Amino acid sequence: MSYEYVIEDNIVIFKFKHGKVNSIPMETLLGLSEVVDRVNNEQELKGIILTGEGRYFSGGFDLKTFTTFESGEAVIKWFEVEEEVLLKVFTCSKPVVAAINGHATAAGMILSMAADSCIAIDHPKIKLGMTEIKIGLALTPAEMEIMRFGLDTAKNFRDVIYKGELFAPAQALEMGIFDELAENETVLMEKAKAKVVSLIDTPGRPFIMLKKMYRDPYAREIQNGINTYDFGLLVDTFTNEQVVGTLKMVLAAIS
């Protein structure tokens, strides 16, 4: 399995654990979808903590998939599911906390920005960011709007998306895109659980309505973007020899 999840104290802990960098294949996307459905529908569940195995939170979507699409139709089908799942995570009715245990790049960073709170281990060697611009990739509608939402300011967007450089958790805290730091993984998970509880365990659970009202305009923008997006652009990207060649080099480097 490319992921696992357990329920502790009525909180779902979803762990990325695929390959060296905890990359995200279709199996993981479908697992995330299942978990969000459970949390939305099961009253006793309080929320979700996203985290990773080992030294990575997640290094992003599975590059083996991205370099072996069999057809343009396969590209479109993959990203239609990906967009739906990102929107589902972004609109989960209960708290989603990203517990950043290690490196979080590309889709790992996007899912962090989709969360209601981001807490990271305070270690200067942990790298965060979006290097897509340097390897020939743009962003899809859901990816773009989630990053715009999470980065909050135009300057943060320019610094993270346009520069494509990596940075440490302390800088993410300084930028205002992460909420807390933790000295180790034990404290990280304690803080993540406490954050879920503080958000949801109040009389009548008003967080659910507050989150819906806050995020609905952004969710509508994401859905409209998906509905009007030319997915053929992704076919062009993933059949571009230069882009695919670059992705294969990155895959070889991390393998």
Tell me if 163 is assigned to some domain: yes
Contact present, 138 and 237 (Cβ < 8 Å): yes
Contact present, 250 and 62 (Cβ < 8 Å): no
Q: Report residue 254's pLDDT band, with 50, 70 and 90 as the boundaries.
A: confident
Residue 255: predicted pLDDT: 80
Tell me if 248 is assigned to some domain: no
What is d(CA 147, CA 149) in angstroms, rounded to the nearest whole number?
Answer: 5
Contact present, 144 and 203 (Cβ < 8 Å): no
Token pair in block for residue 234: 């992704």
Residue 29: predicted pLDDT: 98
Domain count, the chain: 1
Q: Domain of 23: which CATH number?
A: 3.90.226.10
| Residue 250 CB neighbour total at 10 angstroms | 18
pLDDT per residue as tens digits for the range 69-126: 999 999 999 999 999 999 999 999 999 999 999 999 999 999 999 999 999 999 999 9
What is d(CA 57, CA 50) in angstroms, rounded to the nearest whole number?
Answer: 8
Tell me if 210 is assigned to some domain: no
C-alpha separations of 107 from 156, 163, 164 in Å: 17, 17, 13
Tell me if 75 is assigned to some domain: yes
Crossing angle for the helix pair 141-151 and 107-114, to the nearest 10 degrees: 60
DSSP 8-state secondary structure symbol assigned to residue 62? -
pLDDT per residue as tens digits for the range 161-214: 999 999 999 999 999 999 999 999 999 999 999 999 999 999 999 999 999 999
Tell me if 54 is assigned to some domain: yes
Q: Report residue 6's pLDDT band, with 50, 70 and 90 as the boundaries.
A: very high
Residue 108: predicted pLDDT: 98
Contact present, 243 and 137 (Cβ < 8 Å): yes
What is d(CA 151, CA 149) in angstroms, rounded to the nearest whole number?
Answer: 6
What is d(CA 249, CA 136) in angstroms, rounded to the nearest whole number?
Answer: 13
* 37, pLDDT greater than 90: yes
pLDDT per residue as tens digits for the range 41-66: 999 999 999 999 999 999 999 999 99
Range(s) of the domain holding residue 125: 3-200
